Chains A and B, each alone.
Chain A
C-alpha cells in the first residue's frame, strides 16, 4: 500500500514569490494535516482538512492557505514568501474522526528554501 506522497521534494523560491506544495494521502484516508518544521522552532501544526473542509488552523498568518480536493489530495499555498518560511513542510493523513484514533501517517516532506 502506498504511503503519503509529497511533491516536490525540494523547492527554491525568492522572497515575495508564491509556493505550492502538494500531498496525496494514503488510500482511504480523508483527513490531511500540514506541519511546518523550521530550524529551532520544532514541528508546528499548520492546517487540517477533512472531507474538503478546513477543520482547524494553527497560529500562522493568512498567507498560508490550502485546499483539499475531491480525491482527498491537498495543496498548501504560501503567498508573499518570507525568509523565515524556509522549512521542511510535512503532510500527514489519517482516517476520519474517532476511527483515526489520532494516528497520523507522514510523508517525506517538501523542503522549501526562500532566498
Chain B
C-alpha cells in the first residue's frame, strides 16, 4: 500500500518569490509520482509526473520537482510565482500499472502581491 504526506497545509508567499511544496511518500513497491493542481471550483490538472529516469522533472507553468528515492520525497518547486499560481496542489502516488492514485491532503498556495 502507498501513502502520501504533504507537510504543509498552507503556504503563503509573495509574488515573484520562490516556493517549495513538500511531499513525502511511502510504498513497498516501485511507484509513479505526480503533482496535480486544482484551481477554485475546477477539477485536477496534471503539473508533472515522475515515471523513471532523470530525477529532476519539469512540468507546466514553470514548475519542477525532484524525486529523491533515499528520502522518499518528491518536492515541487517554482523559482518565481505569480498571482495566477494561487491554487491547491496535490501530490499523488500510484503503483506501477493502471492502479488507483493515492493523494496527499493538499497544500493551499496563496500568492500575496
A interface with B by C-beta (< 8 Å):
4, 31, 33, 35, 42-43, 45, 48, 50, 56, 58, 90, 92, 94-98, 100-109
Whether the Cβ atoms of A98 and B100 lie closer than 8 Å is no
Nearest-CB residue, chain A, relative to B94 = A102
Whether the Cβ atoms of B98 and A45 lie closer than 8 Å is no
Q: How far is the CA of A35 from the CA of B98 in the complex (A)?
A: 15
Kindly provide the distance from the CB of A58 to the nearest chain B CB, expressed in whole angstroms.
7
Residues of A within 8 Å of B103, CB to CB, are: 42-43
Residues of B within 8 Å of A109, CB to CB, are: 42-43
Nearest-CB residue, chain B, relative to A99 = B98
Whether the Cβ atoms of B94 and A106 lie closer than 8 Å is no
Q: Which of A98, A101, A104 contacts B101 (CB 8 A)?
A: A104
Whether the Cβ atoms of A96 and B43 lie closer than 8 Å is no
B interface with A by C-beta (< 8 Å):
32, 34, 36, 42-46, 49, 51, 90, 94-106
Residues of B within 8 Å of A48, CB to CB, are: 98-100
Q: Which of B49, B98, B104 contacts A31 (CB 8 A)?
A: B98
Contacts A/B (CB < 8 Å), 21 sampled: A33-B101, A35-B101, A42-B104, A42-B105, A48-B100, A56-B99, A90-B43, A94-B98, A95-B98, A96-B98, A97-B97, A98-B98, A101-B49, A101-B51, A102-B49, A102-B51, A102-B96, A105-B46, A106-B36, A106-B44, A109-B42
Kindly provide the distance from the CB of B67 to the nearest chain A CB, expressed in whole angstroms.
14
Kindly provide the distance from the CB of B97 to the nearest chain A CB, expressed in whole angstroms.
5
Whether the Cβ atoms of A102 and B44 lie closer than 8 Å is no
A103 with B49, Cβ < 8 A, contacts A42-B103, A45-B100, A98-B97 known: yes
Q: Which of B43, B97, B98 contacts A106 (CB 8 A)?
A: B43
Nearest-CB residue, chain A, relative to B93 = A102
Q: How far is the CA of A100 from the CA of B90 in the complex (A)?
A: 20
Nearest-CB residue, chain A, relative to B44 = A106
Q: How far is the CA of A42 from the CA of B46 in the complex (A)?
A: 17
Kindly provide the distance from the CB of B47 to the nearest chain A CB, expressed in whole angstroms.
12
Kindly provide the distance from the CB of B24 to the nearest chain A CB, expressed in whole angstroms.
16
